[in-house]
C-alpha cells in the first residue's frame, strides 16, 4: 500500500464532517468586532432586513387595522347601544329629579299650611282650546266635593266642577265659565276674574277711577269661601279704558300655567288660612315690574322683602308694558 | 227582535270605540304631546255616520256622539249638540249632491268638518254665551284638523272593518245595495 494510494477524497470529507465542528467548538465568538470581510454583507443584510421588517410590519399593521376596524365597528355599535340606554336612564332620572323637586315643594307647602290639603295628579285634560278643564286622580271617595279649590304653591289652578268616585274634573282659571272673586293686592280694589282666552284671564267690574298698574298682583278675596284669602291668581299685563270709559279692561296672566300643572292640591277647608301680607309687607307690595306708567303712584321698591308668591310670579312671567 | 239586538250591539260597540278614542284624545295625547293641539276624533264618527248610516241612525249618532264627547271636552252639551248638528247638516247636504265612498275623500271631508266645527262654535258662542270666545284659536284648530284628517284615513278603514265584522248593512246610496 503506497502513500500515494491514499484516498484524499474520503479524507477531505472526513475532515469536513468531523474536523470542522471540532475546530468550531473551540473558536470564541467576539461579539464586539465584526470582521472586515463580513462588513459589506452585514450592511446589505441590514438593509434587506429593515426593508423586510418595514414591509412586513406595514402588512401586519394594515391587516391589524382592518381586523381592528371590524372589531371597532362592533364595539362602536355596542357603545352606541349603551349610550342610548344611558341616555334613556338619564332622561328618566332627570324626570324623577324634577318630579322630586315638584313634590318636595308641594310637601313644604302642605307642611307650612293650616289648610287641609289633598294632593292629586293630573291624568287628563280637555282638548278644545276654548274650554279648559283637567281631570285629577282623586274623587269623592277621597273627600273631594264640588266647588272645592284646586291650587299649587304658585297660585290658583281652578275649582272642582264634577266629582266622581275616583276622579274629579277641575275647571281651570282660564276657562270662560270660571269666575273668581278677586282683589288687586296693592290697591285692594275688588273685581271678578273671568277666563278670557287659553292663557289669559279678564278682570271685570273695575271702575275707571281704580288704581291699577301693569304688574299688579291679583289675589283671591276669600269671599267665595272656596279659595283662601290673598292667594295669588295672576298678574296684570294690560290695562285699558273700556267703552264709555266707565270701566277698565284688565287682562291678567295667571300666576301659574294651568296647562303645565302635573300635581296640585285640593283645599278641603279654605277658611283656616289667609295669605294676606302683613301691613309692613303691604308697603313694599306690588307692582312687580320695574316699568311703570307715568301716572304711577307707587314708587315702592320691587325687591327686598318679596314674598315667595311674588318671587314665583317674577319667575313665571315677564310682563309686558 | 234579533234585528234590534244586532242594532243595539252594533251601536254599543261603536260607542265603546268612541269612548276609547276620546280617552286617547284627552289622556294619552296629554302624556305624549303635552299642550300640542289634540285631534278631534269624534268628528270622524260624524263624517262616517253621515255617509254610512241611514238618516234615522245619523240623528241618533249625532246625539250619542255629543253625549260622549261632552264628557271629555268640557263643552256645554247644548252648544256641542248644536255645533255637531250643524256639521252633520252640512255633511248630509254634501252627501245629497256628491257620491263619496273613498276613505281618502272622507279624510278630506273630515278636515273640512273639523274646520267648520270651531267656526260654528265661535258663532254659537257669540250668540248664546255670556262670556263668549274672545280669541279664535285658528292655528290650534288648523293643526288639530290636519292631525284628525291624517288619523281618520286609518279610522275609516277600521270603522268599515267593524261594520263588516258585525255584518252591519250600509244604506243603499253608499254601497249600491244593502249588504
Hunting for cell 465584526 — which residue is that?
A34
Those residues with Cβ within 8 angstroms of residue B128's Cβ, 6 or more apart along the chain or in another chain: B78, B79
Nearest to B27 among A123, A128, A132 (CB): A123
Rounded to the nearest 5°, which phi and psi values hold at A119? -80, 140
Would you say residue B130 lies in a domain? yes
Put residue B176 in one of left, alpha, beta given phi > 0 → left and psi -120 to 50 → alpha.
left
Highest mean pLDDT among A34-43, A105-114, A246-255: A246-255
**A121: Cβ–Cβ under 8 A, 6 or more apart, which residues?**
A136, A137, A262, A263
pLDDT of residue A29: 56
B35–A260 C-beta distance less than 8 A: yes
Q: Are the C-beta atoms of residues A152 and A263 closer than 8 Å to each other?
A: yes
pLDDT tens digit sequence for B119-168: 999 999 998 888 888 888 888 889 999 999 999 999 999 998 888 887 77
pLDDT digits (tens, 9 = 90+) for B100-109: 767 788 889 9
d(CA B124, CA B86): 10
* Res. A189: pLDDT tops 70: yes
What share of chain A has pLDDT > 70, as a percent? 77
Section A170-184 average pLDDT: 89
Instruction: Sketch the domain layout of chain A as residue ranges.
Output: 43-112, 117-293+302-316
pLDDT reported for residue A321: 31
CA–CA distance, A254 with A259 (Å, rounded to integer): 11
pLDDT of residue A27: 57
A117-293+302-316 has CATH 3.40.50.720 classification = no
Compare CB distances from A126 to B26, B121, B137 and report the shortest one's residue.
B26
Write out pLDDT tens, residues B32-73.
Answer: 777 788 889 999 999 999 988 888 889 999 999 998 888 888
Which has more confidence, A289 or A296? A289
Greatest alpha-carbon pair distance for chain A in Å reads 160
Nearest CB to A124; choose among B26, B125, B137: B26
Question: What backbone phi and psi angles, to 5 degrees, belong to B28?
Answer: -65, -40
Cis link prior to A31 (omega < 30° from 0)?
no
pLDDT at position A307 over 50: no
Q: Do A125 and B129 touch (CB under 8 A)?
A: no
**Joined grid coordinates for residue A228:** 283662601
Q: Measure in Å the smallest separation between the Cα of A258 and chain B Cα atoms.
A: 11
Q: Is residue B49 part of a domain?
A: yes
The residue of chain A nearest to residue B119, with distances taken between CA atoms, is: A130
Rounded to the nearest angstrom, the minimum Cα separation between B148 and chain A is 13
Is residue A113 over pLDDT 80? no
Angle at A29 between CA A27 and CA A34, to 5 degrees: 125
Interface ipTM: 0.80
| Chain B partners within 8 Å of A130 (Cβ) | 75, 118, 121, 125, 133, 137
Domain that holds residue B76: 2-167
Nearest Cα to Cα of residue A157 among A141, A171, A144, A176: A171
Mean pLDDT of A140-155: 89
Within a domain: B177: no
What are A236-251's pLDDT values in tens digits?
Answer: 999 988 777 788 889 9
Question: Domain for residue B176, yes or no?
Answer: no
Residue A215 · residue A235 · CB < 8 Å: yes
Closest CA to A206 of A173, A186, A183: A183
Choose among B27, B118, B129: nearest Cβ to A176: B129
> Quick check: A198 and B38 CB within 8 A?
no
Amino acid at each position: 500500500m503506497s502513500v500515494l494510494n491514499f484516498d484524499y477524497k474520503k479524507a477531505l470529507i472526513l475532515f469536513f464532517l468531523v474536523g470542522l465542528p471540532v475546530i468550531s467548538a473551540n473558536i470564541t465568538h467576539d461579539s464586539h468586532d465584526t470582521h472586515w470581510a463580513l462588513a459589506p454583507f452585514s450592511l446589505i443584510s441590514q438593509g434587506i432586513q429593515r426593508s423586510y421588517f418595514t414591509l412586513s410590519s406595514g402588512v401586519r399593521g394594515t391587516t391589524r387595522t382592518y381586523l381592528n376596524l371590524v372589531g371597532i365597528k362592533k364595539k362602536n355599535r355596542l357603545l352606541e347601544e349603551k349610550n342610548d340606554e344611558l341616555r334613556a336612564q338619564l332622561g328618566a332620572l332627570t324626570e324623577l329629579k324634577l318630579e322630586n323637586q315638584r313634590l318636595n315643594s308641594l310637601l313644604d307647602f302642605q307642611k307650612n299650611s293650616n289648610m287641609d290639603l289633598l294632593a292629586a295628579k293630573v291624568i287628563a285634560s280637555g282638548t278644545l282650546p276654548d274650554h279648559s278643564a283637567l281631570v285629577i286622580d282623586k274623587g269623592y271617595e277621597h273627600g273631594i266635593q264640588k266647588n272645592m279649590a284646586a291650587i299649587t304653591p304658585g297660585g290658583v289652578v281652578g275649582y272642582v266642577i264634577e266629582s266622581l268616585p275616583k276622579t274629579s274634573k277641575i275647571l281651570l282659571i282660564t276657562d270662560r265659565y270660571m269666575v273668581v272673586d278677586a282683589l288687586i293686592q296693592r290697591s285692594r280694589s275688588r273685581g271678578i276674574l273671568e277666563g278670557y282666552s287659553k292663557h289669559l284671564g279678564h278682570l271685570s267690574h273695575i271702575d275707571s277711577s281704580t288704581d291699577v298698574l301693569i304688574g299688579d298682583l291679583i289675589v283671591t278675596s276669600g269671599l267665595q269661601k272656596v279659595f283662601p284669602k290673598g292667594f295669588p291668581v295672576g298678574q296684570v299685563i294690560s290695562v285699558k279704558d273700556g267703552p264709555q270709559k266707565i270701566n277698565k279692561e284688565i287682562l291678567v296672566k295667571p300666576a301659574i300655567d294651568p296647562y303645565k300643572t302635573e300635581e296640585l292640591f285640593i283645599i278641603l277647608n279654605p277658611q283656616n288660612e289667609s295669605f294676606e301680607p302683613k301691613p309692613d309687607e303691604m308697603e313694599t307690595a306690588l307692582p312687580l315690574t320695574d316699568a311703570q306708567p307715568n301716572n304711577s303712584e307707587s314708587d315702592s321698591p320691587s325687591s327686598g322683602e318679596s314674598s315667595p308668591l311674588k318671587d314665583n310670579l317674577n319667575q313665571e312671567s315677564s310682563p309686558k308694558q | 227582535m234579533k234585528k234590534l239586538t244586532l242594532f243595539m250591539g252594533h251601536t254599543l260597540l261603536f260607542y265603546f270605540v268612541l269612548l276609547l278614542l276620546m280617552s286617547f284624545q284627552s289622556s294619552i295625547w296629554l302624556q305624549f304631546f303635552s299642550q300640542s293641539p289634540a285631534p278631534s276624533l269624534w268628528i270622524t264618527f260624524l263624517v262616517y255616520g253621515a255617509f254610512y248610516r241611514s238618516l234615522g241612525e245619523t240623528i241618533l249618532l249625532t246625539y250619542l256622539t255629543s253625549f260622549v264627547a261632552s264628557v271629555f271636552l268640557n263643552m256645554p252639551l247644548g252648544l256641542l249638540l248644536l255645533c255637531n248638528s250643524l256639521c252633520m247638516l252640512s255633511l248630509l247636504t254634501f252627501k245629497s249632491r256628491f257620491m263619496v265612498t273613498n276613505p281618502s275623500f272622507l279624510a278630506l271631508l273630515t278636515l273640512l268638518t273639523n274646520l267648520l266645527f270651531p267656526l260654528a262654535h265661535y258663532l254659537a258662542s257669540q250668540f248664546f254665551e255670556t262670556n263668549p270666545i274672545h280669541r279664535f284659536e285658528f292655528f290650534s284648530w288648523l293643526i288639530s284638523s290636519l292631525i284628525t284628517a291624517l288619523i281618520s284615513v286609518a279610522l275609516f278603514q277600521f270603522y268599515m272593518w267593524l261594520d263588516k265584522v258585525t255584518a252591519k248593512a250600509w244604506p243603499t246610496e253608499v254601497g249600491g245595495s244593502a249588504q
